């Protein structure tokens, strides 16, 4: 255990080695993903695969960790900001930075031992989960939204943290992804407009996701033994297990059978 990580020695005598051995993937480096990479770097992770193809804009500065006014002027890729944050804390880290849509260059994803999905939209979440399941990679999904309510009432901030473990319940089993939400999103496809986003809910969700990842790898709590679905209420500033979990005790996933792992292949008829 090094002096630098001495304050996290409760994670276990081998935790430095475990953390340094793991390859973490972060898809999306905006409000959520920028928090995630920063925390992973603080903890000591040394191997990264990161994806984002956007450049930082002025409207990102209210929440993108590591982003600066100078970066906006330079139209810097978000992935370069994340790389800078990581290297600032872990100069010898290996960072595979992919400045394209992950769907266009997904092979590096396969090298990940754990994936963080910090993407917008339900369809993209489903696509990422399909890849994670095919290559047996635990996926931790985070997301937040601000919904308008009736006139005179404050808007509601909601969010989720989900651990989708191969062989266990998926985001469809948990009821987070369903045909209704996917169809609704597809109907809105191409609609212009910016979604409200703020820094603190992303911070809460990202911190929780990183905590789950560290627990999964080090087993320091010795209690993480099932899929996680946490529901965030940004108005009451609380996070709790989603109510649906109580109806899923003993349930198994029928959407991703284990015999469907690996590359898809054509089958002779």
Partner 1 sequence: MTGTIADGAAVLLTSYWPVPDDLYINDPDVGARINGVAIRNAMQDVLDGGGRYGLLHVHMHLRKDRTGMSRTDMAEIPKLVQSFRNVGAKAAHGLLILTPDHALSLALLPGTDSLQQVNKIIIVGYPTEILK
Contact predicate 101/94, CB 8 Å = no
Q: For the CB of residue 113, give the shortest distance to partner 1 in the complex, in Å.
A: 5
Closest CA to 115 of 36, 35, 43: 36
Q: Which of 179, 162, 181 is nearest to 230 (CA)?
A: 162
Q: Which is closer to partner 1, CB of 30 or CB of 138?
A: 138
Of the pair 26, 137, the CB lying nearest partner 1 is at 137
The CB-of-111 to partner 1 minimum distance in angstroms stands at 7
CB-CB contact of 222 with 87 (8 Å): no
- Cβ–Cβ < 8 Å for 140, 232: no
Q: Residue 187 or residue 265: which is nearer to partner 1 going by CB?
A: 265
What DSSP string runs through 115-128? EEE--SSHHHHHHH
Q: Residues interacting with partner 1, by CB under 8 A?
A: 18, 21-22, 107, 110-111, 113-114, 135-138, 165-167, 215-219, 224-226, 258-259, 261-262, 265
* Smallest distance from partner 1 to CB 137, Å: 7
Question: Could you tell me the smallest distance in angstroms from the CB atom of residue 17 to partner 1?
Answer: 8
Nearer to partner 1, 79 or 112 (CB): 112
Residue 231 Cβ vs partner 1, minimum distance, rounded to whole Å = 21
Distance CA 69, CA 129 (A): 34
Looking at the Cβ atoms of 110 and 255, the one nearer to partner 1 is 110
| Residues 88, 38: Cα–Cα separation, whole Å | 10
């Amino acid at each position: 255990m090094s002096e630098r990580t001495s304050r996290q020695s409760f994670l276990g005598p081998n935790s430095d080695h475990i953390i340094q051995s793991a390859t973490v993937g972060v898809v999306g480096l905006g409000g959520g993903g920028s928090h995630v990479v920063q925390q992973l770097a603080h903890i000591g992770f040394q191997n990264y695969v990161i994806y984002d193809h956007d450049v930082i804009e002025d409207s990102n500065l209210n929440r993108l960790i590591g982003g600066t006014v100078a970066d906006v002027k330079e139209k810097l890729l978000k992935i370069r900001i994340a790389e800078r944050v990581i290297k600032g804390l872990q100069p010898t880290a290996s960072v595979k930075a992919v400045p394209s849509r992950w769907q266009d260059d997904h092979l590096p994803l396969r090298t990940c031992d754990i994936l963080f999905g910090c993407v917008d939209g339900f369809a993209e979440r489903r696509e990422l989960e399909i890849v994670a399941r095919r290559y047996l990679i635990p996926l931790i999904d985070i997301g937040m939204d601000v919904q308008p309510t009736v006139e005179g009432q404050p808007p509601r901030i909601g969010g989720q943290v989900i651990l989708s473990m191969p062989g266990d319940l998926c985001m469809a089993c948990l009821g987070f992804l369903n045909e209704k939400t996917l169809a609704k999103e597809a109907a809105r496809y191409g609609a212009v407009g910016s979604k409200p986003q703020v820094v603190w809910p992303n911070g809460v969700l990202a911190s929780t996701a990183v905590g789950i990842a560290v627990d999964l790898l080090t087993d320091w709590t010795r209690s993480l033994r099932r899929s996680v679905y946490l529901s965030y209420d940004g108005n009451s500033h609380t996070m709790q297990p989603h109510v649906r979990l109580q109806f899923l005790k003993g349930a198994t996933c029928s959407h991703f059978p284990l015999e469907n792992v690996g590359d898809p292949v054509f089958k002779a008829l």
